[in-house]
Structure 1
Amino acid sequence: MRKENDDIIRLIVRSLRGELTPDEEVLFISWKSCSKANEEMYRRLEREYKEHAEYALYKQFDTRREWAAVEKGIRKRRSVHRLYRVAIAASFLVLGIASYILLAPEKENPRQLAKVLPVGEYSFSKKASLILPGGDTLQITPVMKDTLIERLPFVSNNGEALVYHETSGSDTLVYNTLEIPRGGAYSLQLADGTKVMLNSESRLRFPQAFNGDTREVFLDGEGFFQVAKDAEKPFIVHCTDYKVRVLGTTFNISAYTSDDVSMTTLVEGRVNVERGDTRVLLIPGVMASVTRSGITTREVNVDSYISWTKDQFSFSEERLKDLLKKISRWYDVDFVFDNPEIEEYKFSGFIPRYENITAVLQIMEQAADVVFKTSDDKKITVYDSHEKVH
């Protein structure tokens, strides 16, 4: 199985580089055309290969040698699970390929999950609830295009986002709330043209139309904002105990009330993070962390904090406990740890956001010494792979 996997990975890498020989191209086309899953996998990897910031590192990647280094590094360090000595771009490529191969239905997976997850459960999809002023709730999905027109003639659903159109509003602000459940995500375009992408388990309260001297919304959870410029009307995002003030810019806020730290990461423009009498100006590439003790800032790799908007999950030296908290929101599951020490294991790398959590867990089992066991009540227990699974 490992030899066959390596051969397929080598063909895919050589195809992405444009280095296939005529004989290899025949084998590659045969593999790609044998299933829709293979075709979709290659399209996704090809897109990542072209768009990834570390593109040049792929050209230095020797599949078998570097993958062996990954495994060797993992075995040596059980407490810190890194994708060792491999450029992030290269390791993502291998893990992405390996995960699809492991899921290929015609092949036997040498390292099954402790219990196979049923298709259709523990999955991610685009969905949301729109809560109207009177409390009525409308369920929003991509297939419900333009079905809001009877209730809300100034709102349309294009299958990707709810779009609020400008209206001749009154002096009174009328608020709607877009609520994203666990295992879901959806986008929104406000009446002023501002675009917001909301992550799982998030809520955004916003006016149907803006008036007055400011544009103000209220966030609980995570949102990626592309604010329409209006020098006369600052845009303000209110979180639990602080706010972010902008004129026109692109930024990400993660402000779940269940998290100890709230984070605002600036992509473009300028924003002020304000808490009480404290005001901190951010420039692109800087993240502000808000805790009970105050506001701190540091330079970060912005792509890591907005990767969720591209259906990816990026993490760097992140505790397994924190990593799985985010994954639990994506797929509406709960993780429990067999041993508290496992919570402190640290991970670095990329994981694509697959429709089903099975692929994510298989990647993590392959990349580190952990095993997942599922139950019928949406609970997944995490074990050290060297310990006996109950």
Structure 2
Amino acid sequence: MKENKSKDLIEKYLNGTATEQEKAILNSWYSNRSRAMADEMPEPDYELWDRKISSQLPKPGKTISGWFKYSVAAAVMILVGTGIFFYKQYDKKRDQNVITAAMDIAPGKKSATLTLANGKKIRLSDVNNGSLAKEAGVTISKTKEGELVYEIEDTDIESNPLNTLTTAKGETYKIRLPDGSLVWLNAASSLIYPASLNKNGVRRVELKGEGYFEIAKDKKHPFVVKTSQQEVTVLGTHFNISAYPEEAVTLTTLLEGSVKVANSKDQKILVPNQQSATSGNSFSVKTVETDDVIAWKNGLFVFNDESLENIMREVCRWYDIEVIYRNADKNKLFFGGISRYDHLSGILKKLELTEGVHFKLEGRRIIVSK
């Protein structure tokens, strides 16, 4: 990227006027540049960039969008010429090659498998754009942007077969349901839904793993998301659900509107910026930073005092790897953000900068030690 163009793009990041395409270009350039230059970059002037960030932030009492907040952080990392991870003891750094280029593992990609009611499986990354199938008066197609779209063409069809959209580890996908609702699936997740969505007056889906939902408003037909531990009922709103089988707690985070979360013992109404946690009969609600929760949808890992063990579970799902701990402190806390489009080596190098953890790659297995 030429210097004058990069400066223009960075300025757009800083003032919040960058288009989605410009954001993608800058993110890709940053990831590639940080991998190539991380070993030779000098320690950044943190005080200088603290002042620059502060000068760009709104005055007290104003709000700042999540994407703008993260884009400022990304732009600062580009400008200082390093992909350094912002952790609590960021003044400690060591020069270490954790993984050679030949061993490196690429990040996840946009892909999924659609399973039709008749058992037919369609690998969405392997098929051309356009019409894929027709079931119960519903046309299923794939757009050039890689989005799965359902459109109702015949409302007189009584049958309403179930479809399943599944992402493996290292995959993510977006689907537009027949009512116009949008769902983003994170890695290692699945969504089960009727082909025409509406069944007996209710729009009902079943989620395993993690999904971000933007539900089209329809007061006559509530939208229900069922997981193994709870049900979430909405009319039209934006929310995120994390319900991975390997996680003890199911988290529901509300961004807009309101939702009712119910488990076997209790139910609560959430308002924006609240997150419920259900596990068995336990049920709690707290206020959270919602931008951190949906950072995965925007191509970022964001950790706010997150334990090493929790971080590595996210990394495992996105890079399709296995983790083995050898005398590592699983409870060590990290704070910062990393691009999900970086190669695995980029993630691990930045985590290693804390000098409290070391990684060794053996095939698709990561050995974590002190």
Give the TM-score band, short-chain normalised: 0.7 to 0.9
Q: What corresponds to 2:100 in structure 1?
A: 116
* 1:166 Cα deviation after fit: 1.5
8 Å Cα contact 2:131/2:140 also seen in 1:
no
**Unaligned stretches of 5+ in structure 2?**
1-5, 13-24, 35-42, 51-68, 85-93
The one-letter amino acid paired with 1:317 is D
Counterparts in 2 of 1:269 and 1:142: CA distance versus 1, 3 Å: farther
Rounded to whole Å, the distance in 2 between the matches of 1:248 and 1:361 is 39
8 Å Cα contact 1:113/1:373 also seen in 2:
no
Rounded to whole Å, the distance in 1 between the matches of 2:252 and 2:27 is 37
8 Å Cα contact 2:104/2:345 also seen in 1:
no
- Secondary structure in 2 aligned to 1:327? helix
Rounded to whole Å, the distance in 1 between the matches of 2:188 and 2:100 is 25
8 Å Cα contact 1:156/1:163 also seen in 2:
yes
8 Å Cα contact 2:114/2:123 also seen in 1:
yes
Q: What corresponds to 1:40 in structure 2?
A: 29
TM-score, with length taken from structure 2: 0.75
The one-letter amino acid paired with 1:315 is F
More helix by share: 1
Mapped pair 1:160 → 2:138:
no
Deviations 1:367-386 (A, max 9, x none): 5532211002x1011122xx
- Secondary structure in 1 aligned to 2:117? coil
TM-score, with length taken from structure 1: 0.72
Deviations 1:303-333 (A, max 9, x none): 0000111001111111100111011101101
Decide which of 328, 333, 336 is 2:316's aligned counterpart: 328
8 Å Cα contact 1:201/1:221 also seen in 2:
yes
* 1:112 Cα deviation after fit: 3.8
Decide which of 35, 45, 69 is 1:64's aligned counterpart: 45
Rounded to whole Å, the distance in 2 between the matches of 1:186 and 1:265 is 20
Rounded to whole Å, the distance in 2 between the matches of 1:43 and 1:121 is 14
Mapped pair 1:98 → 2:82:
yes
Decide which of 134, 138, 146 is 2:130's aligned counterpart: 146
* 1:147 Cα deviation after fit: 5.4
Rounded to whole Å, the distance in 1 between the matches of 2:296 and 2:322 is 19
Aligned residues, how many? Answer: 314
Q: What corresponds to 2:206 in structure 1?
A: 218
**Unaligned stretches of 5+ in structure 1?**
1-11, 19-35, 46-61, 70-86, 101-109, 385-390
The one-letter amino acid paired with 2:45 is R
RMSD: 3.4
Structure whose alpha-carbon radius of gyration is higher: 1
Rounded to whole Å, the distance in 2 between the matches of 1:230 and 1:178 is 23
Q: What corresponds to 1:362 in structure 2?
A: 349
8 Å Cα contact 1:130/1:177 also seen in 2:
yes
Decide which of 128, 143, 149 is 2:112's aligned counterpart: 128
* 1:63 Cα deviation after fit: 4.5
* 1:252 Cα deviation after fit: 0.2
Decide which of 165, 187, 201 is 1:178's aligned counterpart: 165
Counterparts in 2 of 1:145 and 1:89: CA distance versus 1, 3 Å: closer
- Secondary structure in 1 aligned to 2:247? coil
